[in-house]
Structure 1
Amino acid sequence: MHAISLSVTAKHTQAVSLGFLALVTGRPDPVLFRRSMGLADDVKVCHLTDDAPTTKAPKLNVWSQISPEEVKSVWDFVHNPSVGLNLTAPENATVTDNYVYFIDTLPVNKTAALPYLDGNNEAPPKFARVVIFEGGREDPVSQEYMVKLPIHEGSQVEKLDYLFNGGSGGTVPFNARYFDGKRSAASEPLLASLMTSIADITIDIFGGAYYGSSDERTNLTSATATPNSFDGTTAYRTVMFRYPGLASYMVPLDFYIILNVAGTDSSLYALKGFVTKSRFFPTVESLRAAYEAGELAQEFPQTRDNTWAYVNHKPEMGVRDLDDRLAPQSLEIGGKRYKFDPAERYVEYMGWSFYMAFTRTLGLMFYDIKYKGERVLYELSMQEAAAQYGGHQPKAAGTVYHDTYYSFGTYSATLVEGYDCPFGSTLLNISFPEGSGTEVHPDALCLFEADPGYPLARHRTGASNDWGFSQLGTVKASSLHVRTVATVGNYDYMFTYAFHVDGSLEVEVRASGYLQSSPYYKDQEKWGPRIYEATQGSLHDHVLTFKADFDIVDTKNSLQVTELIVANQTQPWFEELGIFEQMELNVTNKPTEEMLYWGGNGQTMYSVINPDAKNAWGVPRGYRIVPGRSNIHLSVEHSPFSQKSSTFSKSHLAVTRHHDSEQYANSWQNVNLAKRPQHDFAKFFDGESVDGEDIVVWFNLGMHHFTRSEDVPVTLFSEAVSSILLAPQNFNDRAQEGDLLNRRWIVANSTTGQLSYEDYGVALPTCKVQLEEPVDGLSQWTTV
């Protein structure tokens, strides 16, 4: 690694006479124009690696993660025999024991937070969320609890029921609870026994066998998908097999086994059947009969070598000309322009301010987002990352993922500076409770300001000289980005929240990683094309649900719908035209809670407004919700695998009235309760008014993944991307650019050929990168 320091060499010219150059060349020199506008007078060190200036948050971060000391105190408290939970240490537990699955932070209720944020109330108390798998009960369940902090002599464990509206509170039946290592271990003997009994078949067909996860003879890997149940009354385990390796997702085998695994008594577990060659075999005997008849040979044998799917350089593809040079980089040359309070995770930037929080279930969350001192959003958070597949085999046809089920936030990990985030970014650790302690992932969150590559605004007027203008104004655009990447199984999800200087806020998600691919059959390409020798891309949807709890100025907001309609009109000054079509606006407020869709041809605009807060022109202040790239919803409306458990994914957006009991769009264990969800998003829509009320907008990003050969080795961030923009809509009295100093106002004198400009004190530096030692292809000093 080469250390880099920066210095600046510069000039400064307030007025540049271009008359002589015009006489020589016939036109003013554009190079001089480009390079002379606002260069600094001296040589100084650029602030590339400086820390962000500090600031002090106006209030405590009441949404922050509970501390390691608090995690340990909760762990010790619930394990105290006097509390009566009869807990076994997780490392010693089986499915028939009671044990803690996880501890997390319970977000504070909004009704408790606002009196503290906006008044003189004391900070609301913090609560820990405790999930306990109670396999030792006569009726085994998963149960959620809440514990008020700090722990004291009179502390109690209370059931956490109010967040769930499915009728059973925080209780999930055993058959629908998370399929953790204990449940896998309970069903492993049956799986190993059955697969051992047909080892000769799998060795002959696939060159491998599965004797059990810990058996050294095993040379196939197994994988189990969700859902494992529909309503908690039964449970099944569908297992697929792959060749092992770093890219095992890309080498699937056409062999599946389905087990009935209901209840905690593993002696009652049984085989449902095998699937291969698109055929179902309910017994070992029926499978063996087909094998002995020569009916199971694979038409497209899978390769054992999966190095072709590694994300490394492939020499056989060659090298592109000049690719040995370092690619362009985004650098904060002028120094960091955002302030940060590390203790409270509070940020200030160009009029914006906000708090950041993190939970193991949802990951990164934002609270109390203000622009120029006025609240725009109380909360902005990802609620669920769902995926649903299609195909003609049990893994693809029956797979629905809810990634909160896997504790989404725990998969946010270290970012690579210069690649995942620009050089010089502020890199932050994230932490979350794990067992009795707290796990820390270093450099898992980054903040950086970036140039979007276009000006925020520009305009030229007049064309009376060689320059083609009399006056030209251009304003530099920039935005503060907050980014994290969560790798959940086979996919890396990159979340970027961009706070733009014009007062708009952009949410973007990208996906990269290995496809959950399928064995290739040439008659099944309606579910995806062939992407390797024996591998097919599996068609699927990604839908990521976000919560935007708007508080435009205050909590009395409405969802305004502005439709561009075509109407027939007559106008007396166009008498000869008679009746003619013209577009006009139809503006209404949504009266009640509703699931909504983007209008055709982009002719519908949704804005959250405050009907009682007007700008200088008497127009209600608000923020528009602008669809960006790939704003989709789930394709399948009535699948039995996601019937009621994924309602939040089935519209483009929705508006509801805020309730503390409707904190989440989903329950993290809902994926196994398609028919009887623990938390039912559909029940949010019960006819309540959303006009002039405290409202929440839920919106979906995602992509219909039309798989392709360019998904090999991994899906590319450039194509698998979705975004949305929350933009001021009459929130201000004018565009938010007039108070920005990073601009140029240039006036051309048509008589003298002289340019004069105003740089407002912001010089344009020429930076040089000094390397501590020469690098191939770079001199010691390189101008940037």
Structure 2
Amino acid sequence: MEVIDKFLYVSTELYVPAKLEALAFLDGGGAKPERQALVTVHAGGKTPPVVEEYVVGPLPNPARHEPYSNPTRKSPIPWTSRAIDAKEAPLIFPLIEDATAALHNILKESYGYTYHNCTKHCLTTFDTVPKGFKSGERRSWILFHRKGMGGVTYVTNFMLQITHESADPSEWHVSRVFYNDQYFDSVEQLITGYADGSVEKDTPDADVQGDDILYPTFIRRGKPQPASPSRGPTLTEPGGRRYAVRGRHIEYMGWSFDWRLGTSQSMQLYDVRMNGERIAYEVSSQDAASFYSGSNPAMLNNLFLDSYWDVGRSYELTRGVDCPETATCFDILQQRSTKVPSLTKNAVCVFELNAGIPLRRHFDSDFAGGFHSYGGMADHVLVLRHINTVYNYDYVYDYIFHQNGVIEVRVGLTGYIIPSQDTTSYGYPLYAGEIGNVHQHSFSYKVDLDILGTQNRFETVDILLENITNPERPELRHIQTRIQRNLRTTEKEAAVQYDFNRPKYYNFYRDGQTNRFGVNRGYRVQLNGIAKTLLPRQDWAAMRGVAWQDYQLVVTQRKDSEPSSSSIYNQNDLYDPVVDFQSFIDDDESIVDEDLVAWVTLSTHHIPHSEDFPTTATAGTQMQFFLRPFNYYDEDPSVGSSNAVLITPGEKSGSVRVERFGTPTGPACVSEQSPFHYTGTWRGAN
């Protein structure tokens, strides 16, 4: 019994200190909180086996550990909820090897590719989740697709189900087989039926034969663009770098913040300030969900929560593509299922960018062929970027800081789709006789706004219709819109399921702290990437594990016991999740003059199409939300920028006066280009 006889150390994350301790240090000169780690252990040696978490510290020389407990989470964490680890995976592969060895000839005849002892035209595997349709199950459907560049876009119609619920690996077995839309109770049943002709056979698709299969690859083909190769525009910094980096602390044009990259939760920003005033204590990614539809076992089980797959897992970024050549890149150390941390070079980047659009501008015409003035300012922004690859998909996570006090949080989708040989009820016909199955992407974010302190209020500014007597023409009616401020007092009142018939602003403010016009200073959340989730929690228990997906915005009291909207353990137990986000709302606590958190969901439906080959493009797949000052300042804070331009008519006819507020013009040295370097390695310290 190899698994249950051992305790397996799995992962290490930063244990984030209590907010009050952190604020005491940041604002009040209190003691610096101890740096501690949250360590996950798969305690297979216990009866029954469980997953345990420990807080270990102080770092870097730990002297103690204590169990991590959280009253808002299910405890203990079920053994079947754990992620596949370095101990379990190698024990599953022999079952796959034995099954595919017995089915070697069937696979070769049906698909032209094989798995067992393969050296050419090989298949590889893809794991599906959750591992079952009920709480407590651990049954993995193993999908097979072509190995190589773009191989995931050629998925066979063959799958194996491995049952591995027991703590004793000798009890694990192949419990079902799926071949050409037919289910079998064993490998032997498929072999027998294939031999006697009772099984409908699959045949290779002509598109995927041979050694030179270009369609799903990045190899250039088609009409050349441009007609002859030439370099595109590049970013330069003629005045030198205008942001400062000190470790994980970054400052830019009045902005300052600290950041970290968690393994399971991706990018997290802390102590975000503008001109010295804290706007947010935390802005962070929580989880990403991809829920597929279809009729075969893979699509029925492709309900992905990326925290389980290490949404913060890092691979090397490529200068000139993933980030500009001028970017500052950061190496990342992470540890999960390894004895030592793995180092990834250039995993995160930060850079200043001309967004290619004016931040603000106006041409003031004199309506006589001339003008009174022109004023404008380019939208120079700072971008902090991390790109996460979760097997087939790539998510581009951006945190963008504008000079007018706006924070833009954006995610873009790219990478390969997962197709299937399914019916056109679920997608359009694509490459190799497949369809691209419809699915929905959703992203959960935590926004802990601290507007002039932690005692905040949340209101919606509702835009309403009014039908009034026209003051100018009393015999007529006049219909127009007006606004109405609506203070939300409890968490249930602040759970937003967007209604297009009732548009509104979402405003967070400190009561009694006003701007020069007597208006409460605030920041509003603007949602620019929302989609309705059609899957009903009341009818389908799997949605309990992604309750956050039902809401575009939820506002709750901030609690250290509610650190995240999701958990890596939700993936394999969506039906009875370790973290049930709905419970954050159901206690319906007061949100008036409290420390508040906004839980934001970005979402989009994706119906794949032929232009998603070779990969989905980021153009048209980007979603974002904004944190925008709402009467927070007396005027746009970017008026202090010397990068603005003011043009007025000169004294002589046809002449102009150009005011650049001290910004130099003329020739400047082009930044030296860094030599191209890329290793692509990530496993183990380099």
* TM-score, normalised by the number of residues in structure 2: 0.91
What amino acid sits opposite 2:407 in the alignment? L
State which structure, 1 or 2, has the greater radius of gyration over its C-alpha atoms. 1
Task: Summarize the Cα distance change of 1:306–1:105 in structure 2 as closer, same or farther, 3 Å threshold.
Answer: farther
Q: Per-residue CA shift, 1:437-471, capped at 9, x if unaligned?
A: 333222221111111122222223342665x2022
After TM superposition, the structure 1 = structure 2 runs for residues 160-179 of structure 1, keeping only pairs within 5 Å, are: 160-162=68-70, 165-168=72-75, 171-179=76-84
CA distance, structure 2, for counterparts of residue 423 and residue 407 of structure 1? 27
1:637 aligns with 2:536: yes
- The answer to whether structure 1 residue 730 and structure 2 residue 631 are counterparts is yes
Look up the match of 2:374.
472
Structure showing greater relative contact order (alpha-carbon pairs closer than 8 Å, 6 or more residues apart): 1
* Structure-1 separation of matches of 2:631 and 2:575: 44
What pairs up with 1:713-752 in 2 under 5 angstroms? 713-749=614-650, 752=653
Name the aligned partner's letter for residue 318 of structure 1.
Answer: K
Range with greater deviation from structure 2 (369-378 or 295-304): 295-304
Partner of 1:333: 238
**8 Å contact kept, 1:308–1:713:** no
**Aligned equivalent of 1:585:** 483
> Residues 771, 581 of structure 1: CA spacing in aligned structure 2 closer, same or farther, 3 A cutoff?
closer
Tell me how far apart the structure 2 counterparts of residues 621 and 491 of structure 1 sit (CA, whole Å). 40
Q: How does 1:12-91 map to 2 (within 5 A)?
A: none
- Structure 1 residue 314 and structure 2 residue 220: aligned? yes
Confirm or deny that 1:617 pairs with 2:517.
Answer: yes
CA RMSD of aligned residues (A): 2.6
Partners of 1:500 and 1:352 in 2: CA distance: 9
SS of 1:166's equivalent? coil
Q: Is the 8 A contact 1:645 1:675 kept in 2?
A: yes
- Give how far 1:265 is off: 1.9
Which of 637, 642, 663 is equivalent to 2:563? 663
Matches within 5 A, 1:409-448: 409=312, 411-433=313-335, 435-448=338-351
**Which residue in the other structure is 2:506 paired with?**
606
CA 1:709/1:641 → structure 2, altered by over 3 Å: closer, same or farther?
Answer: farther
More deviation, 715-724/430-439 = 430-439
Give the Å deviation of 1:525. Answer: 1.3
Range 357-366 or range 201-210, more displaced: 201-210
The answer to whether the Cα contact below 8 Å between 2:251 and 2:257 also exists between their aligned partners in 1 is yes
1:453 to 337, 356, 360: 356
CA–CA separation in structure 1 for the residues paired with 2:361 and 2:280: 29
Q: Look up the equivalent residue of 1:106 and give its one-letter code.
A: Y
Structure 2 counterparts to residues 239-318 of structure 1, below 5 A: 239-284=142-187, 286-288=189-191, 290-291=193-194, 292-293=196-197, 295-298=199-202, 301=205, 303-304=208-209, 307-309=213-215, 311-315=217-221, 317-318=222-223
Matched, 1:383 2:283: no
Cα 1:498/1:94, change in 2 over 3 Å: same
CA separation of 1:565 and 1:668: change in aligned 2, threshold 3 A? same
Q: CA 1:753–1:607 in structure 2 vs 1: closer, same or farther (change >3 Å)? A: same
Pick closer, same or farther for the CA change 1:268–1:444 going to 2, 3 Å. Answer: closer
> For the structure 1 residues 323 and 546, does the alpha-carbon distance in structure 2 shift closer, same or farther, using more than 3 Å as the test?
farther
Which has the higher mean CA deviation after the structures are superposed, 587-596 or 186-195? 186-195
Asked whether the equivalents of residues 412 and 441 of structure 1 are also in contact (C-alpha less than 8 Å), the reply is yes
How far does the alpha carbon of each residue in 1:164-187 deviate from its partner, in whole angstroms, 9 at most, with x for none? 62331xx32222211224223333
Q: Structure 1 residues 534-543 or 144-153, which shifts more?
A: 144-153
Mapped partners of 1:487, 1:440: distance in 2? 16
Change (3 A) 1:436 1:181: closer
Aligned partners of 1:625 and 1:727 also within 8 Å: yes
Distance 1:216 1:716, change over 3 A: closer
1:135, 1:264 within 8 Å by CA — same for their partners in 2?
yes
Give the counterpart letter for 1:684 in structure 2.
Answer: F
> Structure 2 matches for 1:448-527, cutoff 5 A?
448-463=351-366, 466=369, 468-519=370-421, 521=422, 524-527=423-426
Deviations 1:723-760 (A, max 9, x none): 11111110111122321111222221587333223221
Specify whether residues 720 and 754 from structure 1 end up closer, same or farther in structure 2 by C-alpha distance, changes over 3 A only: closer
CA distance in 2, matches of 1:190, 1:483: 40
1:558 corresponds to 2:457 = yes
Corresponding residue of 2:66: 158
Q: Which moved more, 1:718-727 or 1:301-310?
A: 301-310
2:678 corresponds in structure 1 to none
What's 1:596 paired with?
496
Q: Quick one: distance in 2 between partners of 1:215 and 1:104? A: 38
Q: CA offset at residue 601 of structure 1?
A: 6.2
Are 1:464 and 1:750, in contact at CA under 8 Å, matched by a contact in 2? Answer: no
Tell me the amino acid that sits aligned with residue 204 of structure 1: E
Distance 1:185 1:477, change over 3 A: closer
For 2:250 and 2:158, locate their aligned partners in 1 and report how far apart those are by CA, in whole Å.
52
Structure 1 counterpart of 2:414, one-letter code: S
**Unmatched tracts of structure 2, length 5 or more:** 674-686
Distance in 1 separating the partners of 2:373 and 2:121: 75
User: CA contact under 8 A between 1:458 and 1:473: conserved in structure 2?
Assistant: yes
C-alpha displacement of 1:663: 0.7
Q: Is the 8 A contact 2:357 2:379 kept in 1?
A: yes
SS at match of 1:586: strand
3-state SS of paired residue (2:618): coil
Match of residue 41 from structure 2: 132
Cα distance between partner residues in 2 of 1:495 and 1:770: 26
Q: Quickly say closer, same or farther: Cα 1:111–1:230, change in 2 above 3 A.
A: farther
Give the counterpart letter for 2:344 in structure 1: H
AA aligned to 1:580 is H
Distance 2:649 2:445 in 1: 49
Match of 2:548 among 648, 651, 667: 648
Matched, 1:683 2:603: no
Deviation (angstroms), 1:683: 0.8
- Cα distance, 1:476–1:200 mapped onto 2, change above 3 Å: closer
In 1, the alpha carbon distance for the partners of 2:121 and 2:376 equals 66
- Map of 2:428 onto structure 1: 529
Equivalent pair of 1:104/1:130 in contact (CA under 8 Å): yes
Farther off after superposition, 215-224 or 452-461: 215-224
User: CA 1:771 to 1:484, structure 2 compared with 1: closer, same or farther past 3 Å?
Assistant: closer
1:369 offset after TM fit, Å? 0.5
What residue number does 1:82 align with? none
Q: Distance in 1 between matches of 2:305 and 2:670?
A: 46
Q: 1:654 to 1:336 in 2, by over 3 A?
A: same
Deviates most, 319-328 or 748-757: 748-757
C-alpha distance after superposition, 1:555-606 (max 9, x if no partner): 11122101111122225433121x4322111211211114213331682211
Are the aligned partners of 2:469 and 2:475 in contact in 1 as well (CA < 8 Å)? no
Q: 1:640 to 1:228 in 2, by over 3 A?
A: farther
* 1:254/1:759 CA distance change after superposition, 3 Å: same
Q: CA deviation at 1:649?
A: 1.8
Per mean C-alpha deviation after superposition, the further-off stretch among 302-311 and 435-444 is 302-311
